[in-house]
Chain A
């Protein structure tokens, strides 16, 4: 017998279940309890950069909308910096870079407003294309799914992105690209997430 290592094991994940809103977005569950709910304002009023909206639908392996999903967003600001003590770049006052997104329970459609992030310095000094980090939980998902949203108007940066480049099947890279349109003069990106099937979104083990 060798010596015992004294690391602890990570607490195992369990599904967020259908009532995740009670804990993380009680207003959506149907009641008002906290003085302020968290995660509804990602960028704050002072953030520089282009104001954008992101919308989408999560579908399952049968193509049906997943109406009880909750998504968390983590992103850099327009200068490519995260609101985190280890990022020396700093961010604008009120910029948290983090948000919670819930669906319309009838349709499963979701959307949120933020600023478009800038490129972020990646491993080995290689710049990563602008992207949002997403974490998806729902009933039937045993451990939260991590993915990234990239932007279709950043084709050159996307082509050089080290993470997109890791995806061996080039056809699957498109599952991480949001499509830009202009609606009432404002940019809206569409990003549908497919949990399962031929056109399944690429998910990461981070």
Chain B
């Protein structure tokens, strides 16, 4: 009996563990039993797919997708772009990338956010797009502001954009956060520092990309995303216990 090719195992020492006491909210929400390792079946290897008619072309322009006609969001205008690749370094085309973020003052448009920085009437704070044939995506937005949160009394999140990414398999499903090169709050953030390997933090830090900057318009940052890779071939299962 043949099983479809599997995705590479997640490197659980590269990702953050569930229990990270410096990020206090994790303490009561972290499973205490180990995860049960599951060899993949069709339930894990398949996953949802999305089409052009699921979204609208302007959904990736956060400067304008919630703005009154003729106006735009306030803040440092940026292009946030990159490619979705897999661990084999192959592009992942036609997959859904969604982002959300605070406005330039560090305020989220959310009924649960009461930070004193004001809402920007022309900024919703979310966008979405499909990667193209080469796995490329682009968003136009403003650079989000840092904001305070309740962890220690004086905790500030570095500027960040939340990313939600689909692959072709439910096992590739990923939510992460993109930080910006040079931000001194990165090293002080207990959420970032749930990652033990400094190289993992680097992988979440978008690089200033002068080549993609639009002169007199927008600064560019590049953020490539890597999803789990897949074995090249089908293989024969050994019978259970064989």
Contacts and interface: CB of A to CB of B under 8 A. Distances in A.
Contact of A12 (B3, B18, B113, B176): B176
Interface in B211-237: 225-229, 237
Contacts of B228: 10
Given A139-B25, A140-B26, A200-B33, A31 B239 contact: no
Contact of B16 (A29, A82, A143): A143
A24 B109 contact: no
B226 A11 contact: yes
A22 B40 CA distance: 32
A85 B49 CA distance: 9
Interface string A49-88: 0000000000011101010100010101000001111110
Contacts, number: 265
Interface centre among A9, A14, A20, A62 (most CB of B within 10 A): A14
Contacts of B72: none
B191 interface: yes
Contacts of A22: 100-101, 108-110, 124-126
Contacts of A141: 18, 26, 29-30
A205 B36 contact: yes
Interface string B146-179: 0000000000000000101100101101111100
B52 interface: no
A142 B1 contact: no
Contacts of A38: 50, 54, 96
A128 B176 CA distance: 31
A37 to B, nearest CB: 10
B227 to A, nearest CB: 7
Nearest to B32: A196
A201 B228 CA distance: 25
A68 B108 CA distance: 15
Contacts of A197: 32
Interface in B106-135: 108-113, 124-126, 128
B177 A14 contact: yes
Size bin of chain B's contact surface: 35 or more
B38 A166 contact: yes
Size bin of chain A's contact surface: 35 or more
B41 interface: yes
Dominant secondary structure of chain A at its interface with chain B: loop
B13 to A, nearest CB: 11
A8 B125 contact: no
A69 to B, nearest CB: 9
Contacts of B87: 7-10
A172 B32 CA distance: 13
Interface of B: 1, 3-4, 9-12, 14-18, 20, 23, 25-33, 35-50, 54-56, 59, 65-66, 85-89, 96, 98-101, 108-113, 124-126, 128, 162, 164-165, 168, 170-171, 173-177, 191-192, 194-195, 199-200, 203-204, 225-229, 237, 239-240
29 contacts: A9-B87, A10-B10, A11-B204, A12-B195, A14-B191, A18-B112, A23-B126, A29-B109, A31-B66, A34-B59, A38-B54, A68-B112, A82-B46, A123-B3, A124-B237, A128-B43, A133-B44, A135-B170, A135-B173, A137-B175, A140-B28, A144-B175, A166-B38, A195-B30, A196-B28, A200-B31, A200-B32, A203-B36, A204-B38
Minimum-distance CB pairs A-B, first 3: A23-B100, A140-B25, A98-B48
Given A9-B199, A13-B15, 19 more contacts: A7-B89, A9-B203, A10-B15, A14-B194, A19-B100, A22-B100, A22-B108, A33-B126, A34-B128, A84-B46, A87-B46, A123-B40, A142-B20, A142-B30, A195-B30, A196-B28, A196-B32, A203-B31, A204-B35
